[in-house]
């Protein structure tokens, strides 16, 4: 039995789950938004007393893998529409700046030009610039997968380099630094 798949998903108040048996699409609605996900036909879903149960038909390897996967996806959807997800990134480097206006994020990362990144409408962005501290980018969304993709895209514009540690990193991330040429002697 899958350790992840057999865990029940408790539904907080204000969250409703609708399962369409014909198309195998699950819709989760809450105060933060609405998310939909296709669920493989080998997985059955049942809702009892505010708890969502995910079950599989057989013990085939593929079905066991799908069991844990869809349980995790549905749990993330429930958490997303009730609480939401937040990713905080910091810009480490002299002169690195971030400015948000609506759904546009303008990044100054040491290139000859500024990078203007248009965010999906589901994501809200906030930039924090305090004197003496690295600028921060706060991304908030109900969809964990979309949030991770956008955060990685922003990070790809200037990944942290191993010698000085400059670049865009997730808050709390530790960048392992290498010794330069002069340290060899």
115-152 tens-digit pLDDT: 999 999 999 999 999 999 999 999 999 999 999 999 99
pLDDT for residue 103? 93
What contacts 23, CB < 8 A, 6 or more positions away? 38
Same domain for 120 and 67, yes or no, is no
Same domain for 91 and 74, yes or no, is no
Say how far apart CA 39 and CA 145 lie, in whole Å: 16
> How many CA atoms lie within 13 Å of 61's alpha carbon, on the beta-carbon side?
0
Strands 9-10 and 51-56: antiparallel
In a domain, 67, yes or no: yes
Same domain for 168 and 144, yes or no, is yes
Same domain for 92 and 122, yes or no, is yes
Domain boundary among 82, 107, 133: 82
What contacts 66, CB < 8 A, 6 or more positions away? 40, 42, 43, 56
Does the pLDDT at position 182 exceed 80? no
Place of tokens 């330069």: 180
**Nearest to 89, CA basis, from 46, 122, 127:** 127
Same domain for 89 and 165, yes or no, is yes
Q: How many domains does the chain have?
A: 2
- Which residues face 29 on adjacent strands? 16, 34
Interval 79-105 mean pLDDT: 94
Same domain for 99 and 162, yes or no, is yes
Range of the domain at 46: 9-82
Mean pLDDT of the chain: 92
Indicate the burial class of 103 (C-beta count within 10 angstroms; 0-12, 13-18, 19 or more).
Answer: middle
pLDDT for residue 184? 58
In a domain, 120, yes or no: yes
Domain boundary among 49, 65, 82: 82
In a domain, 62, yes or no: yes
Same domain for 64 and 112, yes or no, is no
Place of tokens 């789950």: 17
From first CA to last CA, the distance across the chain in angstroms is 56
pLDDT for residue 152? 96
Same domain for 138 and 89, yes or no, is yes
Same domain for 76 and 94, yes or no, is no
Interval 22-50 mean pLDDT: 92
Does the pLDDT at position 20 exceed 80? yes
Same domain for 94 and 26, yes or no, is no
Same domain for 60 and 101, yes or no, is no
Say how far apart CA 42 and CA 7 lie, in whole Å: 18
CATH for 16:
3.90.930.12
Place of tokens 């549905």: 74
pLDDT for residue 179? 86
In a domain, 4, yes or no: no
- Model confidence at 2, pLDDT cuts 50, 70, 90, reads low
Same domain for 26 and 77, yes or no, is yes
Domain boundary among 48, 82, 116: 82
In a domain, 181, yes or no: no
Number of neighbours of residue 136 by Cβ within 10 angstroms = 16
């Amino acid at each position: 039995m899958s350790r992840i798949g057999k865990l029940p998903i408790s539904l907080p108040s204000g969250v409703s789950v609708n399962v369409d048996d014909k198309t195998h699409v699950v819709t989760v609605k809450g105060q933060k938004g609405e998310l939909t996900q296709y669920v493989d036909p080998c997985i059955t879903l049942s809702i009892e007393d505010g708890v969502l149960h995910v079950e599989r038909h057989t013990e085939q390897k593929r079905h066991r893998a799908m069991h844990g996967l869809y349980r995790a996806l549905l749990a993330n959807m429930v958490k997303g529409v009730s609480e939401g997800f937040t990713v905080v990134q910091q810009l480490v480097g002299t002169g690195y700046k971030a400015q948000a206006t609506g759904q546009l994020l303008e990044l100054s990362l040491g290139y000859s030009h500024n990078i203007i990144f248009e965010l999906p409408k589901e994501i809200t962005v906030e930039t924090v610039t305090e004197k003496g501290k690295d600028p921060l980018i706060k991304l908030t969304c109900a969809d964990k997968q979309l949030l991770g993709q956008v955060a990685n895209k922003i990070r790809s514009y200037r990944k942290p380099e191993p010698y000085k540690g400059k670049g865009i990193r997730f808050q709390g991330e530790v960048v392992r630094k290498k010794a330069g040429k002069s340290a060899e002697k």
